[in-house]
Amino acid sequence: MTYEIAECRNCCMHYLVEVLNERGMRLLYNEWLDQDMLKAHYEGRPVNRSYDLLLGIIRRHFSNRSQPTLLDFGAGYGGLTSISQKNDFKTHAFDLSEDKNHSAALAGISIVEDLRQFPHYFDFIWVNQVLEHLANPSEVLKTLKASLAKGGFMYLAVPDCAVLDGAFVRQGLSRELFQMLSPHQHINAFTGKTLKVWVEKQGLGPLGLFDYLGMYSIGLGVKEMKFLAKKIIRNSASSTGLLFKSEC
């Protein structure tokens, strides 16, 4: 396998040319990686409290629904899904790893095997640190968009690889470069700009100022209001953790 980096003509995202096919990806996440080591790593990590704040805001936004639907795509070992359940979402999970799906099922999470069976179903779709691992991210995003309910939101977060070009010029093939692009792991490298451009071409748009201002009218506390203010600034800047809505 050669190490070859290409740049997308449409959005300028960088990606590795030679990657595993779907069968190879399933082997990677079910057989080649040490599941016990991964479980110990993720179970020992503290829960990001900002996730709780964000889900609380989204839950209030959908307060007219008895139990809004949420999909954690690439759910891992359930850090987000446990918060989702606490915030009274009807929670679903998708992951290539059978061990991670088994862990989620034991926690009472509904496992999704085929997203095509959930057209326009999910009020909120969470895709955190997943897109950089996918061999076919555009195809996956189109499928996720087709599963997003009318008026729903999608959260996309990826590592920020804005320094990739500089790292390559300075050091060539280096540890810094491999942290952003490495075979079988991070095979796509996004920046805030390329993430926005790429997602918008799929018919999704980042939440704007008026979208966020609309959320201020749902009885938020001080912490939630501060959190939303930061999200407004980040969505208008170069963040690689953004909220999107369907544009068509």
| pLDDT given at position 71 | 98
For 55-93, the pLDDT digits (tens) are: 999 999 999 889 999 999 999 887 899 999 999 999 999
Q: In the numeric block, which tokens belong to residue 45?
A: 């990590």
Does residue 97 carry a pLDDT above 60?
yes
For 163-186, the pLDDT digits (tens) are: 888 887 788 778 888 888 888 889
For 103-142, the pLDDT digits (tens) are: 899 889 999 999 999 999 999 999 999 999 999 999 999 9
| pLDDT given at position 80 | 92
* Whole-number Å distance between alpha carbons of 215 and 232: 11
CA 122-125-131 angle, 5° bins: 140
* Whole-number Å distance between alpha carbons of 68 and 57: 12
Does residue 156 carry a pLDDT above 90?
yes
| pLDDT given at position 232 | 67
* Whole-number Å distance between alpha carbons of 97 and 36: 12
Enumerate residues 6+ apart whose C-beta is below 8 A from 137: 131, 188, 198
| pLDDT given at position 17 | 92
Q: In the numeric block, which tokens belong to residue 180?
A: 């952003």
144-172 mean pLDDT? 89
For 19-53, the pLDDT digits (tens) are: 998 899 988 988 888 888 877 777 767 777 888 98
| pLDDT given at position 90 | 97
For 200-234, the pLDDT digits (tens) are: 999 999 887 778 777 766 777 778 877 877 776 66
What pTM was computed for the model?
A: 0.91
